[in-house]
Structure 1
Amino acid sequence: MKQPKLLLVSPVFYGYWKTIADSLSKQGYEVISHLYDVPTNLAERVRNKALHDLPERFRPASFENLVTHKAIARLTQERPDIVLVVKGDQLGDAWWHVLQESCTRYATWMYDELRRMRYSDKDFDLGLLGPIASYSPSDVQNLKGQGFDAVEIPLAFDSAMHFRPQPNHDITFVGARYLGREQMLNQLQSAGVPVKAYGKQWSRHWWDVARSRNLKDSGVPAGRDLDRSEAYGLMAGSPATLNIHGDQDGFTMRTFEASGVGGLQIIDRTDVSRYYEVGSEVLAYESGDELIELCKRILADPQWAQQIREAGQKRTLDEHTFDHRIKALEVLWK
């Protein structure tokens, strides 16, 4: 039986597209990947920077048109049976109209809230996206209420990523520097808990300060940016790693990565109980004092902590990898 040809149209997205493609291949698809935001020359690197960093109203239409026309050309060249678009908010309306008119089965997978993407524009027709999978329960509820075909599919752990655990003595945090996170880490430090934050917005290295323009020191011990493999190793080797959300209503990729690598995850949302058993697979807190207490117990009772990290990793590998998510996504085009 001939394999269905599937065109994966995705941003580079920290390399997650590779594992998504591999998981699709395991399900029996012939996968062709088109990375719509990969620059191939200096001019395109400038264009890519503009697309990511400039407010939409300041983006030259020619930039979006180039990305869009490349995607259309790839669709025309490959003539796939199925198209899976990951996020896709840099692609212009022409792409979606051509895709819809092609009569190819397709779906769109979101790892961000619609309100943070161009799809929130009043003039955009969400019906062009086809069946939609989103990590956001709120978006899925709203989409269904408007009559769209939508399903909630959470994010996942990339079990194919190779990493080496990096033993260390700090409670770690890897991610962007926001005021709430900074305050929480400072509170831990003031309570005598050893903490360290990683990322260019925390780092005091001169190049990271220049890139992030964060001239003020957070007061928290900090390390530089980490690639995903390094971040996985750091979380796996820490006594515990923090997962502090912003204003998301879905659960970030870190929710599944921190436990998936064998780290002990401490998360700021008790509703993580949808995916893990709180207290035995992950730890959750609702106040700074509760977080301090959890950290001190982890440092004082490594055997208890080890049991939780092992149970969390087992749950992740059993239920929360990209292989599991791809099986759930197939309902959108079958």
Structure 2
Amino acid sequence: MRVLLVSPAFHGYHAAIAASLGTRGHEVTTHVYDDNGGVVGRTWHQVRHQLPHKIGAGSHRGLAREATERAAAAVSAARPEAVVVVKGDTLGSGFWESIAGLPRVTWLYDEVRRTRWTIERLGGIGPIATYSALDDVDFEAAALATRHLPLAFDHRLVPTPTTRRTHDISFIGARYPTRERVLTVLRDEGIPVRAHGRDWSSHPIDRLRTWRVGTPALPAGRDVGRAAAYDVMAASAATLNLHGDQDGFTMRTFEAAGIGGVELLDRLDVEGLYDPGTEVLTWTTPEELTDLCRRSLADPGWTDTIRAAARARTLAEHTFDHRVAVLEASWDTA
């Protein structure tokens, strides 16, 4: 079928979804609805939209209107026979009207409370797949066509994990107060922790991009792309996966395991996806985390068995190929 994939740019995951759709025999056209057009476009976007919004002098309504118009035009150009939408909360009624009557499914990788969606709006868009088990229950109670669909690992991006090893505990992701506290505790306990990302970096460009002056007193590197992030996680003695106030499991859950990393996961409810203790390492207290870090640094024989088991489980059950098969079954009900 001719499939139109409508997705945000977010870390390039649309490329993984498109590749998996292609593997299933579909002819895929991708429309990235928040693409701002390279360096010049991103700079203009910051000046025109992000800066006014930060200082309370503007809204995102104009941006949403432009994104909606571009997405509706993409539908006309692609003439799809089915549509897969990722997130899509900023797209207005003009887009959803343009795909009315087509087989379609929308995959949400955030809790609905973190988006501009409401259950009322979701009622008019067709089948939904959500990474949030709690949202899935609420959607079902509201008589929406819904199913729970966890996120996934892009096994095509780095087919063979690195064999290089570093003597550190890595974290890759945005800087939030809860995450900073965890990393600070580890640093204070003498654990060689290192954060990666523009929110942590002391580089002047990163401070400018994140509208800040100061930098946390933690070892840190700049942004890394997904392929480089996979290498960092695989090479680290262990890598942190910090959720906080989320009930869905982040993409990092499947990436850290899939790349053969030693995943330190702050969730005990991972059973059903991974086996705690043999495929991922779970913890609830700073003391438990510190002990796991120390053992990971000291006992590579133990962690090698975890790496192998985590990667095998992921490749068997948790790639984008597995998830896209579910999306394909979902759009049949549209």
On whether the aligned pair clears a TM of 0.5, the verdict is yes
Q: Please state how far the C-alpha of 1:71 moved relative to its aligned partner.
A: 1.4
Q: Please state how far the C-alpha of 1:108 moved relative to its aligned partner.
A: 0.6
Distance 1:45 1:214, change over 3 A: closer
Q: What is the identity, as a one-letter code, of the residue corresponding to 1:212? A: T
296, 301, 304: which is aligned to 1:303? 301
In structure 1, the residue matched to 2:125 is 129
Distance 1:49 1:228, change over 3 A: farther
Q: What is the identity, as a one-letter code, of the residue corresponding to 1:325? A: R
In structure 2, the residue matched to 1:35 is 32
In structure 2, the residue matched to 1:156 is 152
TM-score, scaled relative to structure 1: 0.91
Q: Please state how far the C-alpha of 1:233 moved relative to its aligned partner.
A: 0.6
Distance 1:39 1:129, change over 3 A: same
Provide the rounded CA distance (Å) in 2 between the counterparts of 1:52 and 1:131: 32
Q: Structure 1: which 5+ runs fail to align?
A: none
Provide the rounded CA distance (Å) in 2 between the counterparts of 1:197 and 1:134: 29
Provide the rounded CA distance (Å) in 2 between the counterparts of 1:131 and 1:45: 36
Provide the rounded CA distance (Å) in 1 between the counterparts of 2:185 and 2:134: 31
250, 261, 264: which is aligned to 1:263? 261
Provide the rounded CA distance (Å) in 2 between the counterparts of 1:50 and 1:315: 45
Q: Is the 8 A contact 2:161 2:259 kept in 1?
A: no
Q: What is the identity, as a one-letter code, of the residue corresponding to 2:7? A: S
RMSD: 2.2
Q: Is the 8 A contact 1:39 1:48 kept in 2?
A: no
Q: Secondary structure at the match of 2:140?
A: helix
Q: Secondary structure at the match of 1:20?
A: helix
Q: Please state how far the C-alpha of 1:52 moved relative to its aligned partner.
A: 6.5
Q: Structure 2: which 5+ runs fail to align?
A: none
Q: What is the identity, as a one-letter code, of the residue corresponding to 2:12? A: G
Provide the rounded CA distance (Å) in 1 between the counterparts of 2:315 and 2:172: 21
Distance 1:251 1:310, change over 3 A: same
Provide the rounded CA distance (Å) in 2 between the counterparts of 1:167 and 1:57: 48
TM-score, scaled relative to structure 2: 0.91
Provide the rounded CA distance (Å) in 2 between the counterparts of 1:274 and 1:50: 45
Q: Please state how far the C-alpha of 1:47 moved relative to its aligned partner.
A: 4.3
Q: Please state how far the C-alpha of 1:15 moved relative to its aligned partner.
A: 1.1
Q: Is the 8 A contact 2:5 2:85 kept in 1?
A: yes
Q: Secondary structure at the match of 1:249?
A: coil
Q: Is the 8 A contact 1:174 1:199 kept in 2?
A: yes
Aligned 1:185-264 pairs, distance under 5 A: 185-264=183-262
Provide the rounded CA distance (Å) in 2 between the counterparts of 1:44 and 1:264: 35
Q: Please state how far the C-alpha of 1:175 moved relative to its aligned partner.
A: 0.8
Compare 69-78 and 161-170 and name the one that shifted more: 161-170
Provide the rounded CA distance (Å) in 2 between the counterparts of 1:168 and 1:181: 22
Provide the rounded CA distance (Å) in 2 between the counterparts of 1:87 and 1:241: 27
Matched, 1:283 2:303: no
Q: Is the 8 A contact 2:75 2:98 kept in 1?
A: no
Q: Is the 8 A contact 1:51 1:90 kept in 2?
A: no
Q: Please state how far the C-alpha of 1:45 moved relative to its aligned partner.
A: 5.9
Q: Is the 8 A contact 2:200 2:222 kept in 1?
A: yes
321, 329, 332: which is aligned to 2:330? 332
Distance 1:222 1:43, change over 3 A: closer
165, 168, 171: which is aligned to 1:167? 165
